[in-house]
């Protein structure tokens, strides 16, 4: 039976929001399965549709750069994650307020010649430490990165395990159920460079710490 034009238009309008919501959910789920995160040693890690690591805090959305001559980590894990900004963050750009990252967790780390910088818009806040003969030390360290490069040397690495079962990096090194990951007894990274959105540590000692503003970052 034919439907009056006004009724047909009203029915189409009523269905559109639900259809759009379903479309957005499917698109987000597909993106989580399809977009790879960067892994140390050029190992690609992909997020699965479920079990994505929840952000430990709302990120600002302003990325920062980390460089180091050497990072020696005992107890290592890495898996995909999703970091979130506050609603309507001024820094979200075209990300929708969420950023796909590779979460790297290290139980105990020593970092030689650490540099950290964040671009504040024409000027960089720069931190240097661990370059006076005593390295930076960190315990239960995590970094959320969308770019990582360097030369990697792993000891007893396991690739492709379910990140929710990981134990080598301690509680910080456990991902969500069904998330692809890798873990190792030890990782040594030289000429390290990371583009990060978040970092946490239970303990963090920075000998020879200097903070300054500069036209150049790390």
Give the number of domains in the chain. Answer: 1
Say if residue 57's pLDDT is above 90.
Answer: no
How far, rounded to the nearest angstrom, does the alpha carbon of residue 126 sit from its chain's CA centroid? Answer: 21
Q: H-helix or E-strand containing 173?
A: none
Contact 144, 37 (CB under 8 A): no
Q: Looking at residues 54-61, what average pLDDT do you find?
A: 75
Over residues 80-93, the pLDDT tens digits come to 999 999 999 999 99
Domain for residue 15, yes or no?
A: no
pTM of the model: 0.75
CA distance 155 to 1: 71
What is the model's pLDDT at position 194? 97
Domain for residue 131, yes or no?
A: yes
Domain for residue 101, yes or no?
A: yes
Domain for residue 165, yes or no?
A: yes
CA distance 84 to 99: 7
Over residues 152-201, the pLDDT tens digits come to 999 999 999 999 999 999 999 999 999 999 999 999 999 999 999 999 99
Domain for residue 14, yes or no?
A: no
Domain for residue 23, yes or no?
A: no
Domain for residue 3, yes or no?
A: no
Say if residue 34's pLDDT is above 70.
Answer: no
Domain for residue 152, yes or no?
A: yes
Lowest mean pLDDT among 11-20, 31-40, 205-214: 31-40
Collapse the DSSP code of 94 into the 3-class scheme (helix H, G, I; strand E, B; otherwise coil) and give the result.
coil
Lowest mean pLDDT among 9-23, 62-76, 94-108, 168-182: 9-23
Q: Could you list the residue range(s) of the whole structural domain that residue 141 is in?
A: 35-214
Say if residue 75's pLDDT is above 80.
Answer: yes
Q: Which residue has the higher pLDDT, 38 or 164?
A: 164
């Amino acid at each position: 039976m034919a439907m009056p034009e006004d009724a047909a238009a009203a029915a189409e309008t009523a269905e559109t929001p639900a259809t759009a919501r379903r479309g957005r959910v499917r698109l987000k789920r597909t993106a989580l399965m399809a977009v790879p995160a960067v892994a140390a040693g050029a190992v690609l890690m992909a997020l699965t549709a479920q079990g994505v690591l929840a952000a430990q805090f709302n990120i600002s959305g302003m990325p920062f750069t980390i460089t180091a001559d050497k990072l020696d980590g005992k107890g290592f894990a890495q898996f995909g994650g999703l970091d979130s900004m506050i609603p309507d963050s001024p820094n979200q750009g075209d990300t929708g307020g969420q950023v796909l990252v590779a979460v790297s967790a290290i139980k105990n780390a020593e970092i030689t010649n650490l540099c950290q910088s964040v671009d504040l818009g024409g000027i960089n806040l720069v931190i240097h430490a661990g370059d006076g003969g005593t390295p930076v030390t960190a315990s239960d360290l995590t970094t959320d990165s969308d770019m990582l490069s360097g030369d990697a040397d792993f000891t007893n690495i396991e690739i492709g395990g379910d990140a929710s079962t990981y134990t080598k990096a301690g509680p910080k090194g456990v991902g969500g159920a069904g998330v692809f990951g890798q873990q190792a007894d030890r990782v040594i990274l030289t000429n390290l460079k990371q583009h990060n959105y978040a970092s946490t540590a239970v303990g963090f000692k920075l000998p020879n710490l200097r903070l300054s503003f500069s036209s150049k970052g790390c």
